[in-house]
Structure 1
Amino acid sequence: MRVNILQHTPNEGPGSILDWARVNGHQSFVYHPYQFGYLPTADETDLLIILGGPMSPNDDLSWISQERELIQELLDKDVPMFGACYGAQQIAKTLGYKVSEAPAKEVGWAPVYLQSHVIPDLPAELLALHWHQEMFEVPKEATLLFSSDAVKNQGFVMNHRVVGLQFHFEPQDDNIREMVINDFPYIEGSILDQTATDILNMPVPTINKEVMFKILDYITAGKD
């Protein structure tokens, strides 16, 4: 399987998603469209990963529109897709739904609560990294998957092939350090009231990687 990864800022990489690809014998290709402008084609994509970033799907940038064209092609072809934060927003926007200011800016560690058992064996509550102040409208074609105390629309699952999460399960400890040291000013104004040190001192829960693997297994089930 060819796993095509769209990365949108240097400090928000694929983390444990690369581990999942290696364990399963898949090849990963990481694209940086914000810098180089290149995207994979739909025909060469068996799984699309759309990572987070500081931009908004509402920004008027040609590569953002081109990403949505690719997403639409893959939706039409029933190709598995996972979006984190901005990536989940891009999927919702492609489907015709709004991306708007969230009720609260969430940056730091906070629990998320499972809202559906569509994906088997997910815990009822998990501690996730949040790094956002916009949110997606959950597509009518999808099922609400997670909520947090401050923001209801934290995740969705659709057609056994698409999952979008407003937060992050994919970062490992070294990824968290990279995010915080490079983007610590963004922490200001978060409802979670955590400092950069608070965020860095929280070890990534080991269950997060397990859940990331389960989500990727679920959306790729039956695909070679």
Structure 2
Amino acid sequence: MIRVLLVEDDRDLAETLLQLMQLAQMQPDHASNGKAGLTLSRVNDYDVLIVDVGLPQLNGFELCRQLRTDGIDTPVLFLTAYRSIDNKLEGFDAGGDDYLAKPFDNRELIARVTALAGRRSSQVKRLAVADLVMDCDNVIVFYRQEQLELSPTCYTLLETLMRASPAVVSRATLENALWGDEPPNSNVLKAHLYYLRRELTKVDAAELLQTLTGKGWALRQGKGCETT
């Protein structure tokens, strides 16, 4: 079941959308202002956030910015009465993943929520795995306050692993993230993984990068994986 948080201050619209989502076999929660929406988003695990832009106390764009700064990667669908391209671009710049202008067809809302569910947003500004932290705005990585010196390729490699963590990332996915549809031979990827592990070793974080033979690589805490 898809769990959704609706952050909407229009009570009539909110009641209509909550009923609509329940009929679509979704599990919705509701917040009537931005601050309440921010709090619920931080403490609960939602599949999708539906956020009105013109909210009291904290507007939808600022709510989303704070979530992305916190490293929360739940997909955000903005609702707004504004249809201009500038307004849409502002929403994407704030960390949103989709945008729906009012008035809208209820079927389209359900379709968009369903499409977003199960994804993780790529808009987060801060990623963290254990004590390893990536500041995406400033393109820097720290482990327990010690900064890692990474090449652009190793940074992209680490970012791909952190966004997927704790899941295993296949060779094909890593190669696509680094080189698109024209990857070099497999030894090049192995070389960059070696360089990344070397930098993690310098800050005593090498155990986070784990190799699962025949499956791929994962960045996570805990044992149970070959780490060669």
Question: TM over 0.5: same fold?
Answer: no
Q: Which has the higher strand share?
A: 1
Give the structure-1-normalised TM-score. Answer: 0.38
User: Highest CA radius of gyration, 1 or 2?
Assistant: 2
Q: Which has the higher helix share?
A: 2
